[in-house]
Amino acid sequence: MSNKKSLKDRINDLKLTHAVNKGSGGSIFRRMFFMIRRYIGVFLGIIVAYFALLILLVEIEKRDPSSTIHSLGEAFWYSIVTLTTIGYGDYYPVTNAGRLIASIFVILGIGLLGFFVGFMMEFVSRIKPIIQLSIHTAKPWYIFTDQSQYSIIFADNIKSVRPDAVIIYSGTKDDGKIPKAISVQWSPSELLERRGSLYDAHIMCLKDNEMENFLDAIQLSDTGAPVVCLANFTPSHHPMNISFFSLTDCTARLFWQQYPIQKKDEVILFIGFGSAGTVLLDRALEFNLLYEGQHLRYHVFGNSDEYCRNRKRLSDIVSINKISETGDSILFHDSPWNTDENLLAEADRIVLCDDSEQENIAILQTLQKFFCFKGALYIYNSNVRSVATPFGQTRDVLTPAFVLHNTLTDMALCRHEMMRFYSGGQIPMWEDLNSQIKDMNYTTTDHISLKVHQLLGNDSPNLPFDDIPSAILRKASKVRSELPDDKKDALNRLEHERITRFYYLHNYHYAETTNDDTKENSLLKPYDELTETDKQMIEVSWLLLDELASHKEAKGR
């Protein structure tokens, strides 16, 4: 018998743990007490040594008739004026032993005051974050592994939607430049231990170095807290509490949701084909299947050899280097982008997507100076706001909706469970899926924003998945429910083709039994050959409109 728990059981266990641990942040107070006790111990040790010297000075000096120091009060006054370097001269030692002790006060007077000032500053600097954290124990914690440019941007976006969120930078010193955050020397694991609870605690691996993020995330997954990791690579199988994301993928998702294709024969130019261009084209092929009889033309200028070598079944999705009037086409150009001025003039949209902002701006300047074009112009990773529409700016991408994608995950899980229901449990549980198939669920769920565009046309708000109001989702679902059966069937055919595109892009092939380890899938056949169960599983993607609306309504959105 398998010892694995179902996803539902694991979620229930986690909720129970949260319920038990919520509000059990007493460990912070205990550690604060231990810290204060340690400092008090040091301070008391210094006081004891100080008074021992004073008593010794009195005992030595009072034996000499000419001495001016006869009591503890006089010795204390003498030590004060000596330590502060004032030196009134009304009291002074006359014995050799007394002068030896006095010399200790003189030497200590040079640095002891500074020591006490530094000691108090150090004490305050150490006790301040403990007090801050103890006050905010019940609030949501976002623990960043570093104070990087990405961390600061995302923290600002978090605060804009969750004003009560506590931003914590671990392993850093408080430089006073970010007043709304808490900087501590402790590691994320130590912070969670001090909090005493995993409830509403999040670890954010957003360093500038993605490999470091990856290694940090794997290590911190043992804490049991949700871990968000910025990395362009995702292992096939990884702990369920780690969520990987990349800036280029978030950019591509956001781009096609905000600027969907507007007609079935749109001509799209990609100029510059690095990491960003590659992901943009992948998401275009997965997202942009919205019209019957659609025949989009993608023209790609840039080095595409690696792209084509990796996607062995690309020709099963689109026509390669030959224009098709019955389906989409991709034309990879070896010539420079400014060779064919007629192509530039007829393009419906031109996407400047080189990884270098400087290169994109240079191309933009050349376009404006020497060529005529009528289509919409988009520029990646730039603040240029003249004739081009900028996209992919870090502040627009590093948002809770795209980084945490809590709603997206909820709906992807919902879709998967519905698919398992219609398949009679033949599909593996969510926790047993590899990251590629999870991504397919995310992509299909994310496509809801474009399904709204399919159904409502110009009435669609063209918003990202997480921002679509529930009323709009209900409206789109109602439009679909009122369509005649042949129109519903046409939409299901498009959805089936869109899903198969994802599998073909990842080099899957048909088999009677689905096996993700060998890249085999039973849905990779013509729509008319699907069983009724298969068609019900395709229908799930449309049922998510109402599911998402209900989810948002439950949250007052």
Looking at residue 11, what is its pLDDT?
Answer: 44
Q: How much of the chain exceeds pLDDT 70, in percent?
A: 86
**Domain check: are 187 and 302 in the same one?**
no
**How far apart, in whole angstroms, are the C-alpha atoms of residue 152 and residue 460?**
33
416-454 confidence digits (pLDDT tens): 999 888 888 888 888 888 888 889 999 999 999 999 999
**Is pLDDT of 7 > 60?**
no
Arithmetic mean of pLDDT, 390-404: 89
Residue 401 placed within a domain: no
**Domain check: are 439 and 453 in the same one?**
yes
342-391 confidence digits (pLDDT tens): 999 999 999 999 999 999 999 999 999 999 999 999 999 887 767 899 99
DSSP for 336-379, written as a single string: -TTS-HHHHHH-SEEEE--S-HHHHHHHHHHHHHH----SEEEE
pLDDT band for 504, please (50, 70, 90 cuts).
Answer: very high
**Of residues 40 and 523, which shows the higher confidence score?**
523
Arithmetic mean of pLDDT, 528-554: 91
Beta carbons of 298 and 331 less than 8 angstroms apart: yes
Query: Residue 405 burial (CB < 10 Å; 0-12/13-18/19+)?
Result: buried
**Is pLDDT of 22 > 50?**
no
**Domain check: are 308 and 336 in the same one?**
yes
**Domain check: are 95 and 164 in the same one?**
no
Instruction: Please choose, from the candidates 282, 285, 306, the residue with its C-alpha nearest in 3D space to the C-alpha of residue 294.
Output: 285
**Of residues 382 and 530, which shows the higher confidence score?**
530
Lowest mean pLDDT among 179-193, 351-365, 502-516: 179-193
Lowest mean pLDDT among 3-12, 71-80, 160-169, 283-292: 3-12
Last residue of a domain, one of 228, 245, 262: 245
Looking at residue 199, what is its pLDDT?
Answer: 87
**Number of other CB atoms surrounding residue 115 within 10 Å:** 11
The CATH number of residue 44's host domain is 1.10.287.70
The CATH number of residue 193's host domain is 3.40.50.720
**How far apart, in whole angstroms, are the C-alpha atoms of residue 259 and residue 278?**
18
Give the amino acid at 484.
Answer: P
CA-based Rg of the chain, rounded to a whole angstrom?
33
Residue 545 placed within a domain: yes
Residue 153 placed within a domain: yes
Tokens of 524: 């990779």
**Of residues 104 and 439, which shows the higher confidence score?**
439
**Is pLDDT of 21 > 50?**
no
**Is pLDDT of 2 > 50?**
no
**Domain check: are 275 and 388 in the same one?**
yes
Looking at residue 10, what is its pLDDT?
Answer: 46
Query: Residue 73 burial (CB < 10 Å; 0-12/13-18/19+)?
Result: exposed
Domain that holds residue 428: 411-554
pLDDT band for 336, please (50, 70, 90 cuts).
Answer: very high
Lowest mean pLDDT among 88-97, 404-413, 519-528: 88-97
Lowest mean pLDDT among 14-18, 72-76, 547-551: 14-18
**Domain check: are 427 and 489 in the same one?**
yes
Number of domains in the chain: 4
Residue 7 placed within a domain: no
Looking at residue 31, what is its pLDDT?
Answer: 54
301: Cβ contacts below 8 Å, ≥ 6 apart: 269, 270, 271, 272, 273, 333, 335, 336, 337
Strand 297-301 and strand 329-333: pairing? parallel
Arithmetic mean of pLDDT, 226-240: 87
**Of residues 98 and 162, which shows the higher confidence score?**
162
Residue 21 placed within a domain: no
| pTM score | 0.78
Residue 230 placed within a domain: yes
The overall average pLDDT reported for the chain is 85
**Domain check: are 441 and 503 in the same one?**
yes
pLDDT band for 14, please (50, 70, 90 cuts).
Answer: very low
**How far apart, in whole angstroms, are the C-alpha atoms of residue 53 and residue 105?**
9
Q: How much of the chain exceeds pLDDT 90, in percent?
A: 53
Residue 332 placed within a domain: yes
pLDDT band for 463, please (50, 70, 90 cuts).
Answer: confident
Arithmetic mean of pLDDT, 396-418: 88
The CATH number of residue 336's host domain is 3.40.50
**How far apart, in whole angstroms, are the C-alpha atoms of residue 521 and residue 524?**
6
**Number of other CB atoms surrounding residue 207 within 10 Å:** 21
Looking at residue 20, what is its pLDDT?
Answer: 38
Looking at residue 367, what is its pLDDT?
Answer: 94
**Domain check: are 31 and 105 in the same one?**
yes
Arithmetic mean of pLDDT, 292-300: 96
Looking at residue 38, what is its pLDDT?
Answer: 61
Last residue of a domain, one of 197, 229, 245: 245
**Domain check: are 104 and 201 in the same one?**
no
Last residue of a domain, one of 363, 396, 429: 396
**Domain check: are 389 and 297 in the same one?**
yes
Lowest mean pLDDT among 182-186, 187-191, 289-293, 325-329: 182-186
pLDDT band for 113, please (50, 70, 90 cuts).
Answer: low
Residue 357 placed within a domain: yes
Tokens of 469: 């109001």
Beta carbons of 142 and 155 less than 8 angstroms apart: yes
Longest dimension (CA), the chain: 119
**Of residues 45 and 263, which shows the higher confidence score?**
263
**Domain check: are 239 and 334 in the same one?**
no
**Domain check: are 386 and 417 in the same one?**
no
- List the Cα angle 504/510/516 in 5-degree steps: 75
168-182, 206-220, 421-435, range with greatest mean pLDDT: 206-220
